[in-house]
Structure 1
Amino acid sequence: MVAFIGPPSPLIDGDDYRKKPEDFTIPPKWVSFQTTVAYKYYDIMNTFDCVEDDASGVNDLMRWGLCLKSCDFIAVRSSFEIEPEWLQVLETIHEKPVFPVGQLPPVEYELEEKNSDAWSSMKKWLDMQEKSSVVYVAFGSEAKPSQAQLTELALGLELSGLPFFWVLRTRRGISDTDLIELPPGFEERTKGQGVVCATWAPQLMILAHESIAGFLTHSGWSSVVEALTFQKALILLTFYSDQGINARVLEEKKIGYSIPRNELDGSFTRDSVAESLRLVMVSEEGKMYRDRAKEMSGLFGDRDRQDKYVDNILIYLKSHRPVKKAESQY
């Protein structure tokens, strides 16, 4: 994503050659290798306000460019094993050191039960499901589907016939008055099939459970890392910001499968939801996504490899720390 945004000068000066949303639907000109990584039109339309000036006369990309221009080096949550070509692009366009700090996978203490009463009831339901049968559905703390999207999602889950555990946010904080609701009768009809959780849920502990096989996610990178650490296959449904770029990287590397959508408005149907879930979770055609999740687990969950990335940046920081001036004798 940092490489896709580009060098700082055009962002600061406002002379980026990309002026229209459709300009972001193709790889940028500073990327010399063949790639499909670019925004879908519906994704950039949900994100394009970042190029528009706010009340202060400054836009988000200008602020981003100023930060990148002023820093001494760039540290990014990434690894050479996943995207070496993009890390090289970063060094080229910024002409300063770039350090991948690894994928920062969860550590053991994060799996401790922090709310045993809430988790115990969730675990009880998960324990009753067959191993590697359940799809976990969650879109992070910020992303929220529209009412139309929520309806198709719910009916798609029902239509799939797969067991599901859905952590659903119907509003983003108390200031969000645009409430969304499940289709009438959905929870009653799916009582034996799945669970809808509208409160806190321990995502790491859910993903670590052996009954979970797949993760329908917004493609936020923390969620991606957590899922792959626990070998969960990825079904992708993006909403805004860097999610579209993350999804294209995962698609290109055959690590995740995106639900088919209308290219202009991003709409999708219950049928496409159901078919996508069945493809990734159970069909022979989608076996490669299940296999890739297991393959990536060895990379994303490799603690020794992770420590080496962190060690590299610590060595750099120690060797480049400012030298204190000798105290004056007078």
Structure 2
Amino acid sequence: MEKRGDRVLHIAMFPWLAMGHLLPFLNLSKSLAQKGHKISYISTPRNIQRLPKLPSTLSSSITFISFPLPPFPGLSPSFESSMDIPYNKQQSLKSAFDLLQTPIKNFLLRSSPDWIIYDYASHWLPSIATELGISKAFFSLFNAASLCFMGPPSSLIQETRSKPEDFTVVPSWVPFESNIVFRYHEVARYVEKTEEDVTGVSDSVRFGYSIGESDVVIVRSCVEFEPEWFRLLLDLYQKPVFPTGFLPPVSEGEGDDDATWVCIKEWLDKQRVNSVVYVALGTEASLPKEELAELGLGLEISNVSFFWVLRNELEIPDGFEERVEERGMVHVGWVPQVKILSHESVGGFLTHCGWNSVVEGLGLGRVPILLPVLNEQGLNARLLQGKGLGVEIVRDERDGTFDSDSVASSVRLAMMDDDVDAYESRKGKVKLMKDLFGNKDKSICYVDELVRYLTSK
């Protein structure tokens, strides 16, 4: 007779429409499928097309379920992801996403999965799952420290913090000393934006219901990295909390003949080992033109080699490429980030501190240079800096501006600090983190624990 713990589960996965969410949900799907479970991965057509191909060994275990994103005022029909739209249109994308409730409910009714694992944006999904008798798990692509800073579900739903100043202090529910707070400029723009754009439901309320009405919370992090924050999460949520480890991405040689990668690799191959700073601010973050110019000038005067990824040609400062052609390369558009970070010539990573990028950079042993731009990125920067893992570019506390000297000095600190002891200490800590963030076996053990729980219910 089949033991309950050995049964094959049917698990539906439903991520938010952002690459930093779609890819970790896919990585978790692969881990669960490798353990013999059937996965229905739900998203929109264009986002599914953007995902990497499944290995042949998993193609029969993971089924992609595609639902067109319903039309919404102000959104082009081709806009299906946060990377397709400016930041001030994000709320409109979430309102369109909310219109998927009916097709999602109909799919769950037909397919009757054992579990639905969902993201923060689908605050309406837990009540649907409860109605249909489906167990529900909230999967956080935010680390435990960030979740703790957000607070218990009741505070999120009631939106007890409303002014920028409320987010620049340690919350009352954190019982120990902490540096995990926002700088004023990191939250002011966001609070002002939500006051101007009242479309749909706030992120705070989405998080509150998504967490509060779940049966279990899953976190893409590990206890070894942030033990005190996981203990606090259990107190705040009063329900099971399972880490998955970091689910490090795997680059298995696919796309080695891609023209973009061939060109990039040719340039990287000519650079010295650990000499290049990879500069990429993610698919959503964008800087004002003045700050882009300061960032470019800082890279130029740092005397450090760099590879800089930009979203469009208009972002390139005038005459910049000609001035830096001896030691810098600028690329516009998509790049294979994991392949670049895996290259031996790359030693540092100037990043917007999105958790996905942090995991990839530290998992491959690259020294972080921290330039948070939006969302929870400032909290991630504080977490890394508090552990001595990164060099943060100094910005004005109120308006967030920075200058080229700040960029240049931070890059030099990370890559060739004159203080040998400080440099070696930083490199040593990053090496330890590589063993933790890039540890696939650790993630396998954590997912094993999660699966034991899921199959026991």
TM-score when normalising by structure 2: 0.65
1:136-192 CA distance string (max 9 Å, x none):
000111111110110000000000011110111138xxxxxxxx4333211111111
d(CA) in 2 for partners of 1:145, 1:187: 19
d(CA) in 2 for partners of 1:148, 1:53: 24
Alignment of 1:45-84 (within 5 A): 45-49=188-192, 52=195, 55=198, 58-84=201-227
* Alignment match, 1:327: none
d(CA) in 1 for partners of 2:195, 2:207: 13
Q: Which SS does the other structure have where 2:388 is aligned?
A: coil
* Alignment match, 1:9: 154
Gaps of 5+ in 1: 172-179, 321-330
CA contact (8 A) 2:162 2:191 kept: no
* Alignment match, 1:175: none
> Which residue of 299, 303, 327 corresponds with 2:436?
299
* Alignment match, 2:293: 151
Alignment of 1:1-330 (within 5 A): 1-14=146-159, 16=160, 18-49=161-192, 52=195, 55=198, 58-109=201-252, 111-113=253-255, 116-170=258-312, 180-283=314-417, 284=420, 285-320=422-457
d(CA) in 1 for partners of 2:165, 2:455: 44
Give how far 1:67 is off: 1.4
d(CA) in 2 for partners of 1:34, 1:8: 22
CA contact (8 A) 2:251 2:339 kept: no
Give how far 1:319 is off: 0.6
Q: Report the AA paired with residue 316 of structure 1.
A: Y
d(CA) in 1 for partners of 2:371, 2:199: 33
CA contact (8 A) 1:50 1:59 kept: no
Q: Which SS does the other structure have where 1:30 is aligned?
A: coil
CA 1:50 to 1:27, structure 2 compared with 1: closer, same or farther past 3 Å?
farther
CA 1:159 to 1:153, structure 2 compared with 1: closer, same or farther past 3 Å?
same
RMSD of aligned residue pairs (Cα, Å): 1.7
1:261-282 CA distance string (max 9 Å, x none):
1111111110010000001101
CA 1:198 to 1:95, structure 2 compared with 1: closer, same or farther past 3 Å?
same
Give how far 1:49 is off: 5.0
1:24-66 CA distance string (max 9 Å, x none):
1111111111111100111111322586595467422112211
Q: Report the AA paired with residue 454 of structure 2.
A: L
d(CA) in 2 for partners of 1:303, 1:58: 37
CA contact (8 A) 2:169 2:181 kept: yes
Task: Give the length in aligned residue pairs.
Answer: 309
d(CA) in 2 for partners of 1:59, 1:118: 38
d(CA) in 1 for partners of 2:328, 2:233: 44
CA 1:263 to 1:53, structure 2 compared with 1: closer, same or farther past 3 Å?
closer
d(CA) in 1 for partners of 2:375, 2:384: 16
Q: Report the AA paired with residue 188 of structure 1.
A: E
CA contact (8 A) 1:281 1:290 kept: no
CA 1:184 to 1:26, structure 2 compared with 1: closer, same or farther past 3 Å?
same
Q: Report the AA paired with residue 97 of structure 1.
A: P
d(CA) in 2 for partners of 1:244, 1:273: 17
* Alignment match, 1:326: none
Q: Which SS does the other structure have where 1:107 is aligned?
A: coil
Q: Relative contact order (alpha carbons < 8 A, sep ≥ 6): 1 or 2 greater?
A: 1
CA 1:57 to 1:305, structure 2 compared with 1: closer, same or farther past 3 Å?
closer
- Identity over aligned residues, as a percent? 46
Q: Report the AA paired with residue 429 of structure 2.
A: R
Gaps of 5+ in 2: 1-145
d(CA) in 1 for partners of 2:378, 2:324: 30
1:287-325 CA distance string (max 9 Å, x none):
3322221111111111221101101110000111xxxxx
CA contact (8 A) 1:167 1:197 kept: yes
